Amino acid sequence: MGRKWNNIKEKKASKDANTSRVYAKFGREIYVVAKQGEPDPESNRALKVVLERAKTYNVPKAIIDRALEKARGNSDEIYDELRYEGFGPNGSMIIVDALTNNVNRTASEVRSTFSKNGGNLGVSGSVSYMFDQAAVIGVEGKTADEVLELMMEADVDVRDIVEEDEAVIVYAEPDQFQAVQDAFKGAGVTEFTVAEITMLAQNNVTIPEDVQAQFEKLIDTLEDLEDVQQVYHNVEFED
């Protein structure tokens, strides 16, 4: 599907090294998802997905436990879930998901980031119709054929299985996330290079080399905003 998930994760990990930014974002997301349902991943599917993704980013157990304990307590901290849709350089499409306790602050920061980096905000629905939600799960130490056999034996329906660098990435419907993981775990695989439910562009685009730096700055700046949890886009860089 062209997104090269391992490369994306390596880039994020490199950028987040020596900072606590990614841990703070996970702590907030875990708290919100646990507060919305039960603070138990066995009975809260959304929480289980977040915790599995946190593992692939090596989020410390102390951060996770603190967020869950906060959700179990009497905290009245409330966050709004927001989605912004916009366009970057050369008409590239971007989705920004945020959790915030100050909607005006977040809206102002996101709008300013777009306008300062060659982009502009669109209206709700102007971009998301070109994206599909999907489960993305990656493992190492297996071939694509071996993974396909595992999925078939477990009767798991997947969209695609792709070898990317040294890993195999499985793309499936969001409701198949747990089934894919269970199939791997049944075969003794417990470590995942990526494990998340994300937004995939229906069609990726390339942008001219002379605006790639501007686009990357836009994405990096959006991801660095305190209230922003996830940024999705439809740009594929040429190797």
Q: How many CA atoms lie within 13 A of 173 on its CB side?
A: 5
Cα separation, 222 vs 206, whole angstroms: 20
**5-72 CATH:** 1.10.10
> What is residue 127's predicted lDDT score, i.e. its pLDDT?
97
Q: Which of 7-16, 72-81, 95-104 has the highest mean pLDDT?
A: 95-104
Selecting from 1.10.150.120, 3.40.50.300, 3.40.640.10, 3.30.70.980, what CATH number does the domain 131-201 have? 3.30.70.980
pLDDT digits (tens, 9 = 90+) for 138-158: 999 999 999 999 999 999 999
List, in order, residues 6 or more apart from 69 with CB less than 8 Å away: none
Which position has the token pair 């329906």? 157
Average pLDDT for 106-124: 96
Confidence of residue 4 (pLDDT cuts 50, 70, 90): low
> What is residue 99's predicted lDDT score, i.e. its pLDDT?
97
Closest CA to 26 of 18, 15, 14, 34: 34
Confidence of residue 165 (pLDDT cuts 50, 70, 90): confident
In the predicted model, is pLDDT for residue 136 greater than 70?
yes
Closest CA to 12 of 220, 198, 232, 234: 220
In the predicted model, is pLDDT for residue 238 greater than 80?
no
> What is residue 21's predicted lDDT score, i.e. its pLDDT?
85
Q: Strand 93-100: give its sheet, edge to edge.
A: 120-121, 80-87, 93-100, 228-233
In the predicted model, is pLDDT for residue 10 greater than 70?
no
Cα separation, 158 vs 170, whole angstroms: 7
pLDDT digits (tens, 9 = 90+) for 176-196: 999 999 999 999 998 999 999
pLDDT digits (tens, 9 = 90+) for 45-79: 999 999 999 998 889 999 999 999 999 997 889 99
Domain at 80-129+205-233: CATH architecture: 2-Layer Sandwich (3.30)
> What is residue 200's predicted lDDT score, i.e. its pLDDT?
94
Domain ranges of the chain: 5-72, 80-129+205-233, 131-201
Confidence of residue 5 (pLDDT cuts 50, 70, 90): low
- Asked if domains 5-72 and 80-129+205-233 share a fold, the reply is no
> What is residue 149's predicted lDDT score, i.e. its pLDDT?
95
How many Cβ atoms sit within 10 Å of the Cβ of residue 185? Answer: 11
User: Distance of alpha carbon 14 from its chain centroid, rounded?
Assistant: 16
With residue 69 as reference, give the H or E element that holds it. Answer: helix 61-72
> What is residue 239's predicted lDDT score, i.e. its pLDDT?
55
> What is residue 95's predicted lDDT score, i.e. its pLDDT?
98
> What is residue 180's predicted lDDT score, i.e. its pLDDT?
96
pLDDT digits (tens, 9 = 90+) for 17-38: 546 788 999 999 999 999 998 8
